[in-house]
A and B are shown apart, each in its own frame.
Chain A
Amino acid sequence: MELLKKNPFRDKFNSKKEAIDYFVRTFFMISAIISSSFIIIIVVFIAKEGIKPFITDNNGIGSVNLFSFITGKVWLEGTAFLSNLYGVGFIIINTLYISFFALLISMPIGVLTALFIAKIAPKKIAEFLRTVVELLAAIPSIVYGLFGSGIILVFVYNFAKIFGIQSKGGNSVLATVLVLALMILPTITALSEVAIRSVRSEIEHGSLALGATKTQTNFKIVLLSAKSGIFTAAILGVGRALGEATAVSLVAGNARSGPSFGFFETTSTLTSTMLQGLKETVGIDYDIRFSVGLVLMVVILLTNLMLNFAKKRVGNINVK
């Protein structure tokens, strides 16, 4: 009892148990606060480094003009070329252009595969395919990059030759699109499958009872009803395509000017540009990577907002 009297928490807590509860709770709360604070740390620190090229004179090279940075058509590394002509305008366009085509290839394949797994395939084959898709999703991006440089570059190089075009060892828009399409395929397939499986069976039965065939039902009713979920799959696919770095940097070819629209031209994306000039640890070529990172974050954010808006518009017309 003597001890208890001396306990400074005596007034606050009725028992030792309550005191422990309080401390554990506080401790856990600190963990939660740490976890949630990282998004702020990311934004603040990348912004802090990323604005340096615009507000300092970069050791005599001169400050980078923000407007020409955003709209620029060339990227000249400062220390190498002694220039402050950093432009990411064409790189933004390249990135969006490539992601769009990657999605264009992956969407139909992914959605049809999902339909096959969810509705058409016998149980065992469906289970097998589901495992295949999961394994594809688990393959690290660097392995896709390796596969891209080993197989896809060769394929694109020979393919370009047919048209009499000499590509830079296959490094091109097409190769980048193909590698990205491979990489987002498992994401799109897996999420579409979930969407398709969650379609109410009554709706399907309604269609079958009207004399529609199983295939007509699958294509006209099931896909339509799963539209919103499939759209979500596409949004996540685009997100992955925009942010993918190492694999892309191995097949893009790192064009320093652009934008590149021709399928056999070399190109560069925001991420592949960030992986350039790795040797630098100070100076503008170090800082500018953060500026590109900032741009990447903004591009991803805006794309997501736009697609989510589009999803709502599409959703409102037909789907509940």
Chain B
Amino acid sequence: MSNKRIRIDRFYQFMTYSAASIAVIILSMIIIFVISNGSGLLNFGLVVNDYHAKFYNGGIDNNITFSQTERPESLTSEIYYSEKWGIGLIEEENREGNTIISVEYIDIDSPLRNMRDKNNDNNSLSLSEGSIVSSIKFYDKNSALTIHGAEHMINELDTSDDFREIVYSSLGGGVRGSIITTLYIIGLTLLIALPIGIFTAIYINEFAKKNRVTSLIRSMIEVLTGVPSIIFGLMGLAVFVPLTVKYTQADSANLLSGSLTLAVILLPIIIRSTEESLKVVPDDFRTASLALGANHTQTTFKVVLPSALPGIMTATLLAIGRIIGESAALIFAIGTAIKDDISIFGKSTTLSVHIWSLMTDEPANIELASTIAIIILIIVLVLNLIVKLIAKRFTKNFG
């Protein structure tokens, strides 16, 4: 073989190697990107915290007993501590990247554990660890604000015997609400889509005669797979939102309208996957069952459907992945409002749309978005690997 041919061959080979490596590079870049941007915020608090910080205004009575506890040994040097009030403050960065002063330690005897709620006299307030102190207002001197720093705040407290008001909040920016919404939506959507999808697949495959009507039904469902999800979103907006507003207590786009929209998106996926697994079931099973005197219904439910179970499982897992990842349709069908109190008939949003909201804010919050992306990626990738394992098992059983 001539040298020139060898060189040309090598060149073409090299091109396939480089092309294939691009896929690997892209995947690693995406993973590295979300991890490097998002891992800083990834902790348990993110998952259980509310997104919207709750603000409290606490006041104290005149006759209080100060705590006068010595600084505990466990506190690190970055923490500023007041013996008199029994409180340790630290400067941190929040999920939006701003500096905040948070309560790192608070003594059991601290007077701040027992405050009046200035917005509601019947309530008492207790400052807890993890709260964000935004300001302390005094009677006779200037307020201590976040921008003055934690050290200043402690000094001002130490030199005062009382204060007018302490304004503090819970740490916001959590995604608890969006996680709950996502879980609700997964449940609701599957509840709607699975039965309709499976029954449709059974009808087409087991009951329907092979005529033009059946093939029309099949191709009408097939067309749905080519429709972009944003179009489904429009349909949700035009059909399901008014429908749910009319017949439920909802007054705008809501979880139910979002689930209904997603159910329509998932129908073709579930139908196809179920049908494929129904087709694998050998006809002998059906004839054997019918020959034993079972009717069509019994045959379907007792013989055919159990064999199709792995396919239905796969479809369910893929559907969950799709629900978690879906954004375009839900922007229309649920809306982009991030909420902490979740109701089926209320507004709120899933993790994916949460990312979209964060990214379309000015300025965009890439860190928090990346953290959510890590959560989404882990779930979606794990689901896909499980599907792969099931597929392997399944082919082993029948092949």
CB of B223 within 8 Å of the partner chain: yes
Q: For B1, what are the chain A residues with a Cβ–Cβ distance below 8 Å?
A: 213
In the complex formed, the residue of B with least CB distance to A182 is B26
Q: For A289, what are the chain B residues with a Cβ–Cβ distance below 8 Å?
A: 234
* Nearest chain B CB to A226 CB, angstrom units: 14
Q: For A142, what are the chain B residues with a Cβ–Cβ distance below 8 Å?
A: 325, 327, 352-353, 355-356, 373, 376
Selected from A21, A133, A300, the residue in CB contact (under 8 A) with B23 is A133
Q: List 17 A-B contacts (CB under 8 A).
A: A21-B297, A32-B200, A35-B200, A42-B231, A46-B231, A112-B15, A112-B19, A136-B27, A139-B380, A140-B352, A142-B373, A219-B12, A242-B228, A271-B230, A271-B328, A297-B227, A304-B226
A113 touches B23 (CB 8 A): yes
CB of B360 within 8 Å of the partner chain: yes
A46-B235 contact in complex given A143-B376, A281-B252, C-beta closer than 8 Å: yes
A141-B19 contact in complex given A28-B203, A45-B238, C-beta closer than 8 Å: no
A289 to B271, CA, bound (A): 30
Could you give, for residues 279-318 of chain A, a 1 whenever the CB lies within 8 Å of some chain B CB and a 0 otherwise? Answer: 0010000000110010011001000100000000000000
CB of B72 within 8 Å of the partner chain: no
CB of A206 within 8 Å of the partner chain: no
Q: For A244, what are the chain B residues with a Cβ–Cβ distance below 8 Å?
A: 228
A293 to B19, CA, bound (A): 35
B20 touches A49 (CB 8 A): no
B231 touches A129 (CB 8 A): no
* Nearest chain B CB to A198 CB, angstrom units: 17
* Nearest chain A CB to B225 CB, angstrom units: 10
A138 touches B321 (CB 8 A): yes
CB of A29 within 8 Å of the partner chain: yes
Stretch at the interface among B138-146, B165-173, B364-372: B364-372
CB of A117 within 8 Å of the partner chain: yes
A150-B33 contact in complex given A113-B23, A136-B26, A250-B360, C-beta closer than 8 Å: yes
A138 to B318, CA, bound (A): 9
Interface of chain B: mostly helix, strand, loop or mixed = helix
Could you give, for residues 46-71 of chain A, a 1 whenever the CB lies within 8 Å of some chain B CB and a 0 otherwise? Answer: 10110000000000000000000000
CB of B9 within 8 Å of the partner chain: yes
A278 touches B16 (CB 8 A): no
In the complex formed, the residue of B with least CB distance to A46 is B234
* Nearest chain B CB to A218 CB, angstrom units: 8
A49 touches B355 (CB 8 A): no
A293 to B239, CA, bound (A): 15
CB of B197 within 8 Å of the partner chain: yes
B376 touches A113 (CB 8 A): no
A278 touches B264 (CB 8 A): no
A185 touches B12 (CB 8 A): no
A243-B231 contact in complex given A141-B328, A271-B328, C-beta closer than 8 Å: yes
A134 to B195, CA, bound (A): 27
Name the residue among A48, A129, A215 with the largest chain B CB count within 10 angstroms.
A215
Q: For B23, what are the chain A residues with a Cβ–Cβ distance below 8 Å?
A: 109, 113, 129, 132-133, 136, 185-186, 189
CB of B295 within 8 Å of the partner chain: yes
A296-B34 contact in complex given A21-B297, A146-B366, A150-B370, C-beta closer than 8 Å: no
A245 to B300, CA, bound (A): 41
B207 touches A48 (CB 8 A): no
CB of B24 within 8 Å of the partner chain: yes
Q: What is the size, in residues, of chain B's interface with A at 8 Å between Cβ atoms?
A: 83
Q: For A79, what are the chain B residues with a Cβ–Cβ distance below 8 Å?
A: none
A35 touches B231 (CB 8 A): no
Q: For B204, what are the chain A residues with a Cβ–Cβ distance below 8 Å?
A: 32
CB of A76 within 8 Å of the partner chain: no
CB of B191 within 8 Å of the partner chain: no
A138 to B264, CA, bound (A): 19
* Nearest chain A CB to B297 CB, angstrom units: 4
Residues in chain B within 8 A of chain A (CB atoms): 1, 5, 9, 12-13, 15-17, 19-20, 22-24, 26-27, 29-30, 33-34, 37, 195-197, 199-200, 202-204, 207-208, 216-218, 220-221, 223-224, 226-232, 234-235, 238-239, 252, 264, 267, 271, 295-298, 300, 321, 324-328, 331, 336, 352-353, 355-356, 359-360, 364, 366, 369-370, 373, 376-377, 380-381, 383-384, 388
B24 touches A132 (CB 8 A): yes
A213 touches B230 (CB 8 A): no
Q: For B200, what are the chain A residues with a Cβ–Cβ distance below 8 Å?
A: 28, 31-32, 34-36
Q: For B364, what are the chain A residues with a Cβ–Cβ distance below 8 Å?
A: 149
Q: For B9, what are the chain A residues with a Cβ–Cβ distance below 8 Å?
A: 213, 215-216
Interface residues on A, range: 35 or more
A109 to B331, CA, bound (A): 32
B199 touches A246 (CB 8 A): no
A140-B327 contact in complex given A48-B238, A242-B228, C-beta closer than 8 Å: yes
A213 to B218, CA, bound (A): 45
Q: For A35, what are the chain B residues with a Cβ–Cβ distance below 8 Å?
A: 196-197, 200, 217, 221, 267, 271
Residues in chain A within 8 A of chain B (CB atoms): 17-18, 20-21, 24-25, 27-29, 31-42, 45-46, 48-49, 108-113, 115-117, 120-121, 129, 131-136, 138-147, 149-151, 182, 185-186, 189, 213, 215-216, 218-219, 239-240, 242-246, 249-250, 271, 274-275, 278, 281, 289-290, 293, 296-297, 300, 304
B331 touches A246 (CB 8 A): yes
* Nearest chain B CB to A148 CB, angstrom units: 10
A295 to B381, CA, bound (A): 35
* Nearest chain A CB to B178 CB, angstrom units: 12
B13 touches A215 (CB 8 A): yes
Q: For B234, what are the chain A residues with a Cβ–Cβ distance below 8 Å?
A: 42, 46, 49, 274, 289-290, 293
Q: For B13, what are the chain A residues with a Cβ–Cβ distance below 8 Å?
A: 120, 215
User: Lowest 5 CB-CB distances: which A-B pairs, in order?
Assistant: A243-B228, A140-B325, A112-B19, A31-B199, A28-B203
A263 to B232, CA, bound (A): 31
Selected from A17, A108, A117, A290, the residue in CB contact (under 8 A) with B20 is A117
A299 to B196, CA, bound (A): 30
Q: For A20, what are the chain B residues with a Cβ–Cβ distance below 8 Å?
A: 295, 297
Q: For A27, what are the chain B residues with a Cβ–Cβ distance below 8 Å?
A: 199
B238 touches A149 (CB 8 A): no
B239 touches A41 (CB 8 A): yes
A113-B19 contact in complex given A21-B297, A185-B26, C-beta closer than 8 Å: yes
Q: For A116, what are the chain B residues with a Cβ–Cβ distance below 8 Å?
A: 16-17, 19-20
Name the residue among A28, A146, A216 with the largest chain B CB count within 10 angstroms.
A146
